[in-house]
Amino acid sequence: MFDPVRVEALRRAPVAPGSHVIDGERRQASGGGAMDVISPIDGSILTTIPRGTREDAEIAIGAARRAFDDGRWSELAPAERKKILLKWAELIDANALELAVLGVRDNGTEIGMALKAEPGSAAATIRFYAEAVDKIGGEIAPTGPGNLGLVHREPAGVVGAIVPWNFPLMIGAWKLGPALAAGCTVVLKPAETASLTLIRIAELALEAGLPAGVLNVVTGEGAVVGEAIARSMDVDVLVFTGSAATGRRLLEASAQSNLKRVYLELGGKSPNIVFADTPNLDEAVKVSANGIFRNSGQVCVAGSRLLVERCLHDAFVEKLAEHAQDLRVGDPLDPATAAGAVNSQRQLEQNLAFVEEARARGRRIVTGGDRILQETGGYYMAPTIVTGVGPDDRLAREEVFGPVLAVLPFDTEDEAVAIANGTDYGLAAAVWTADLSRAHRMVRRIRAGVVHVNTYGGADLTVPLGGVKQSGNGHDKSLHAFEKYLNLKTAWIKL
């Protein structure tokens, strides 16, 4: 429940320096010093976190290896793991407001979204996998007489998880929930600009009874801590959400070490396709705006390319611009705010550079395009709509990860499909139409892991999230996520 008095008290409260959580204990860096945590709300130093070293990562991996090999978690009955995970989810729920405010101060997401998408989502995810773990069994193969074929599902081992800054608890839980429920142990590396809430929920996991060494958190730079995890010979599975460039380095590290399984979610340039027969244009405008501008566009499945049938283009863009201009951008701890801060100065500069390039190419900036609220010291950007964008423009092909929408017209269904599929990415998409046959055709033809119809976003835990092409491999969410963290073992028995 949102309590404005409590939120203000939490906003002003000092934040203790963060720490690693290794082998059941809080630890500082072994020699790397500390990193400042800059709040995107006002640019102030919020606290510090350890600048983790390779040695820190190796100590955490060693703790996870021992915890897996001695069976303190992997050999615990699924029903017992379930009890601990459910208690953990309860503790996250009990501390939801504190976690949400801490996360907003750390990464800038608006509080209305943060409450639901961060602690709320994390608790629900952990609960989902906890409830499932004692209901997933092995198989008896349909063999001929005289033989018995059994297929066992066993925990894969030590998991290295590297998660981004936009939704650290939600995405972190997408990895931690199924990995821990399956019986794996984990070394988690948060993003440098969003570590605080993941440190805190690791502490809550210990409070819930998770054995020492089962979940370890090491903060620091990706080039140091992430690299050490990726190259470790004792990490069996590596899961990552982030940039394509980093994903490639992780694959290389796997190839150069122990060929650990690597599952990547690498973002997208998702097309949001509006046909002239859209049943409710006002709803399409509102949902399309939220699909790109909420959390300042810092969403992997953001509908960052708007494809509009030409006869509808000008009217739709006009309505969309009006809606964008009405969105309140500002203090993310104000519940009236619709879009909070950009995560960092670096990300803000990258967003603005995309807009400047489009402007230099003669594209029209319909609304936005600028940094705003500079007097706060924070990192804020106006919702931005760019028209006249060509399919080959960088703005139409590369992920901005900010509140910047590229608008492209189309004339035919075939042209819409060609534009939609004309990037290296394939994470999400949407189609707005009243024609049921067209909707099914578009779902089939668009190369994406998720295709929405007459909506954008909102898919729950019952369905998988994963991409095709350079949006990655493997799936988060749903029961399919267990597949990343379980090994299949065949027992072939002669009777």
> Which residue pairs from 390-393 have beta carbons closer than 8 angstroms and sit at least 24 positions apart in sequence?
391/419, 391/422, 393/358, 393/361, 393/363
- pLDDT tens-place string over residues 297-351: 999 999 999 999 999 999 999 999 999 999 999 999 999 999 999 999 999 999 9
Whether residue 257 is predicted with pLDDT greater than 80 in this model: the reply is yes
Q: Classify strands 25-27 and 20-22 as parallel, antiparallel or unpaired.
A: antiparallel
| CATH number, domain containing residue 42 | 3.40.605.10
Is 261 in the same domain as 384? no
Answer whether residue 466 is part of any domain: no
Is 194 in the same domain as 241? yes
Answer whether residue 465 is part of any domain: no
Answer whether residue 24 is part of any domain: yes
Give the pair of three-digit tokens for residue 408: 């492209």
Is 50 in the same domain as 192? yes
Give the separation between CA 385 and CA 404, rounded to whole angstroms. Answer: 6
Active-site choice (265, 309, 399, 413):
265
Average pLDDT score over residue span 437-447: 98
Give the separation between CA 418 and CA 408, rounded to whole angstroms. Answer: 12
Answer whether residue 250 is part of any domain: yes
Average pLDDT score over residue span 90-94: 98
Is 455 in the same domain as 488? no
Give the separation between CA 98 and CA 119, rounded to whole angstroms. Answer: 9
Answer whether residue 25 is part of any domain: yes
Answer whether residue 252 is part of any domain: yes
Give the pair of three-digit tokens for residue 349: 């500069």
Q: What is the pLDDT of residue 2?
A: 79
Give the separation between CA 123 and CA 121, rounded to whole angstroms. Answer: 6
What spatial distance separates the first Cα and last Cα of the chain, rounded to whole Å?
60
Is 286 in the same domain as 233? no
Average pLDDT score over residue span 385-405: 97
* 238 DSSP β-pair partners: 160, 262
Contact 307, 408 (CB under 8 A): yes
Domain residues for the domain of 395 are: 271-459
Contact 186, 238 (CB under 8 A): no
SS (H, E, C) 128-187: HHHHHHCCCCCEECCCCCCEEEEEEEEECCEEEEECCCCCHHHHHHHHHHHHHHHCCEEE
Is 366 in the same domain as 230? no
pLDDT band at 398 (very low <50, low <70, confident <90, very high): very high
- pLDDT tens-place string over residues 28-73: 878 889 999 999 999 999 999 999 999 999 999 999 999 999 999 9
Is 434 in the same domain as 487? no
Q: What is the pLDDT of residue 30?
A: 82
| CATH number, domain containing residue 280 | 3.40.309.10
Q: What is the pLDDT of residue 1?
A: 67
Average pLDDT score over residue span 420-442: 98
Is 276 in the same domain as 250? no
Average pLDDT score over residue span 81-107: 98
Q: Report the candidate in 426, 431, 427, 396 with the shortest Cα–Cα distance to residue 413.
A: 431
Contact 479, 132 (CB under 8 A): yes
Is 205 in the same domain as 308? no
Is 364 in the same domain as 420? yes
Average pLDDT score over residue span 454-469: 96
pLDDT band at 256 (very low <50, low <70, confident <90, very high): very high
Q: How many CB atoms lie within 10 A of CB 435?
A: 14
Q: Report the candidate in 489, 469, 484 with the shortest Cα–Cα distance to residue 178.
A: 484
Ranges of H-type helices in 70-110: 78-94, 96-107
Contact 202, 217 (CB under 8 A): yes
pLDDT over 90, % of the chain: 98
Specify the number of domains making up the chain: 2
Give the separation between CA 357 and CA 360, rounded to whole angstroms. Answer: 5
Is 480 in the same domain as 438? no
pLDDT band at 97 (very low <50, low <70, confident <90, very high): very high
- pLDDT tens-place string over residues 479-488: 999 999 999 9
Answer whether residue 467 is part of any domain: no
Average pLDDT score over residue span 166-189: 98
- pLDDT tens-place string over residues 6-26: 999 999 999 999 999 999 999
Is 95 in the same domain as 201? yes
Active site residue 265: yes
Q: How many CB atoms lie within 10 A of CB 478?
A: 19
Answer whether residue 464 is part of any domain: no
Q: Which residues contact 495 (CB under 8 A, 6 or more apart)?
A: 146, 147, 148
